[in-house]
Amino acid sequence: MTNTIAIGIQWGDEGKGKIVDLLAPDVDVVARFQGGPNAGHTLVLGDKKTVLNHIPSGILHEDTLCLIGNGTVVDPKRLVEEMDMLIEACIPVTERLKISERCQLILPYHRSLDAAREVAKGKAKIGTTGKGIGPCYEDKTARRGIRLVDLTSDDLDERIDANLEYVNFMLVEYLKAAPVSRMEVDAMLDLARERLLPLAADVPLILQRRIKAGDSILYEGAQGSMLDVDHGTYPFVTSSNTVAGAALAGLGVGPGQVDAVLGICKAYTTRVGAGPFPTELYNAEGMECPSGKHMAEKGNEFGSTTGRPRRTGWFDGVVVQHAVRINGVTGLAITKMDVLDGLEEVKLCVAYELDGERLESVPACCKQLEAVEPVYETLPGWSENTFGATSMEQLPANARALLKRIEEVCDCPVTMLSTGPDRSHIIHL
Ligand code: IMP
């Protein structure tokens, strides 16, 4: 296995956790480069479901070093809970995990701001995960963020005081919300000092040494390309770059240290939170198309971090083509193929129409994307059960035809196909 970036190329929840977990035994290092506890990577071990928010999905594998890069934002409380959950399951997490000393810390006031801003936005809310992601990245860019390494700094007290003065003014005066106490912040900082600081490391140095020694690296993305702060459906996006390019800046490696980009997407599309979704069929707000309901129910489409019901719709080839371009995707991993079993027909969006004009790419303007009409190709569905299939021969001809058409429309080969939640439910192509 070479050095590969594995990323989601729709609106998140593409099944990255399973794919990374599958690839992890063949690599030496798995490294996260952006996002934080907004991510929820679900792994299934036997009959036990494990959701990881910060820790790279390779942690379950002996001999795999897991790195959390500088591009991520870390909630100390949640990360410690995750570590404890794994320790309880006898996984020696502290031996396998290193955290960049340059990571930004999510502190209690980031969560308060996230929640209060969403309330203040009313109907125009983004539908964030409420984990403090946006405010934390905002502090990073404004150069007032607190990094793991800063826990040892003698001006930390002063900086926290200044941050709290500003944040509490915003919370109380402007957002009419409760202030955050210094005690709450200190408790979080103490926890980070005690449990996370011992794992702090110079991640770029580790990576350079490993790469020089011939080790292979898996760069693990979070969220999806359509949630990227530059390339996604702005402003209905997360606050980090989620594209493949972010792996370089978010870990401190160069472009020559990447050999392949695996784009992970579902055989249909889902989205949580607000924002445009051209091929949407079904949502909790009253959109009720039976095929979309089928996807939501059979696909168990509820957020792994927030439990929110996901919006569902047909595979959007325009979105995936866009993602193939902006990420330089070299192979597609398609997940949840089996969820389409039993549908009489399946649709594939191949272009959009806007004011009588055909669009082949995703418009940058959200209002335009909201107004487009998908142009569909309709293919016959299949009644056979593909759950757990492990070879292409086990798939009905109509399922194979859909995959072929996806490859053509997205101009990218399918290299992996997931047919169920278990590690064994996979076809390598
Ligand atoms: P935030 O990242 O919590 O600020 O949320 C911003 C937007 O990204 C919201 O629409 C969230 O629902 C969405 N989002 C963030 N993380 C994920 C994820 O891991 N999967 C799917 N959607 C996500």
The predicted pLDDT at position 303 comes to 81
- Is it the case that residue 45 has pLDDT exceeding 60? no
DSSP state at residue 288: B
The predicted pLDDT at position 423 comes to 86
pLDDT mean over 375-382:
98
Quote the ligand 1 centre to 366 CA distance (angstroms): 17
In this structure, are residues 265 and 403 in contact, taking their beta carbons and an 8 Å threshold?
no
Ranges assigned E (strand) in 280-344: 280-282, 311-313, 315-316, 331-335
Quote the ligand 1 centre to 223 CA distance (angstroms): 7
301 φ/ψ angles, rounded to the nearest 5 degrees: -85, 80
Under the banding of pLDDT at 50, 70 and 90, the label for residue 267 is: very high
Which residues are part of the catalytic machinery?
13, 41
Token couple for 245: 């390019």
400-428 pLDDT, tens digit each:
999 999 999 999 999 999 999 888 999 99
d(C-alpha 314, C-alpha 322), whole Å:
16
Under the banding of pLDDT at 50, 70 and 90, the label for residue 251 is: very high
Under the banding of pLDDT at 50, 70 and 90, the label for residue 99 is: very high
Q: Is 425 in the pocket of ligand 1 (CB under 6 A)?
A: no
CB atoms within 10 A of CB 205: 10
Ranges assigned E (strand) in 272-383: 280-282, 311-313, 315-316, 331-335, 345-354, 357-359, 373-380
63 φ/ψ angles, rounded to the nearest 5 degrees: 70, 5
Q: Is 131 in the pocket of ligand 1 (CB under 6 A)?
A: yes
Percentages of the chain per state (helix, strand, coil), in multiples of 5: 40, 20, 40
Q: Residue 119, exposed/middle/buried by CB under 10 A (0-12, 13-18, 19+)?
A: exposed
Element (H, E) at 137: helix 133-141
- Is it the case that residue 385 has pLDDT exceeding 60? yes
- Structural domains for the chain: 4-101+200-262 (3.40.440.10), 104-195 (1.10.300.10), 265-428 (3.90.170.10)
Token couple for 49: 């479901």
Q: Residue 223, exposed/middle/buried by CB under 10 A (0-12, 13-18, 19+)?
A: buried
d(C-alpha 346, C-alpha 338), whole Å:
13
- Is it the case that residue 283 has pLDDT exceeding 60? yes
The predicted pLDDT at position 44 comes to 65
pLDDT mean over 349-375:
97
Element (H, E) at 408: helix 397-410
Calculate the average pLDDT of the chain.
95
Q: Which of 42-51, 157-166, 180-189 has the lowest mean pLDDT?
A: 42-51
- CA distances in angstroms from 421 to 14, 42, 124, 334, listed in the order given: 12, 9, 35, 13
pLDDT mean over 330-350:
97
pLDDT mean over 261-274:
96
Q: Is 238 in the pocket of ligand 1 (CB under 6 A)?
A: yes
Q: Which of 110-119, 120-129, 196-205 has the lowest mean pLDDT?
A: 120-129
Quote the ligand 1 centre to 131 CA distance (angstroms): 9
Ligand 1: nearest atom to the Cα of 129 = 3
Quote the ligand 1 centre to 16 CA distance (angstroms): 14
Under the banding of pLDDT at 50, 70 and 90, the label for residue 278 is: very high
The predicted pLDDT at position 46 comes to 58
Amino acid at 386: T
Structure-token match 């390779």, residue found: 58
The predicted pLDDT at position 60 comes to 87
pLDDT mean over 159-173:
98
The predicted pLDDT at position 350 comes to 98
Under the banding of pLDDT at 50, 70 and 90, the label for residue 49 is: confident
Neighbour-count burial for 367-386, b at 16+ CB within 10 Å, e otherwise: eebeebebbbeebebbeeeb
Closest protein CA for atom 19 of ligand 1: 39
Structure-token match 């949630």, residue found: 227
pTM over 0.85: yes
The predicted pLDDT at position 17 comes to 86
Q: Which of 9-18, 164-173, 196-205 has the lowest mean pLDDT?
A: 9-18
The predicted pLDDT at position 107 comes to 98
In this structure, are residues 252 and 32 in contact, taking their beta carbons and an 8 Å threshold?
no
The predicted pLDDT at position 286 comes to 86
Q: What percent of the chain has pLDDT over 70?
A: 99
Q: Is 263 in the pocket of ligand 1 (CB under 6 A)?
A: no
Quote the ligand 1 centre to 191 CA distance (angstroms): 26
In this structure, are residues 274 and 282 in contact, taking their beta carbons and an 8 Å threshold?
no
The more confidently predicted of residues 296 and 46 is 296
- CA distances in angstroms from 281 to 293, 322, 355, listed in the order given: 8, 21, 21
The predicted pLDDT at position 89 comes to 87
Closest protein CA for atom 21 of ligand 1: 12
Ligand 1: nearest atom to the Cα of 38 = 16
Q: Is 57 in the pocket of ligand 1 (CB under 6 A)?
A: no
The predicted pLDDT at position 11 comes to 98
Under the banding of pLDDT at 50, 70 and 90, the label for residue 1 is: low
d(C-alpha 176, C-alpha 102), whole Å:
33
Ligand 1: nearest atom to the Cα of 272 = 12
- CA distances in angstroms from 104 to 76, 98, 123, 135, 267, listed in the order given: 10, 14, 30, 11, 35
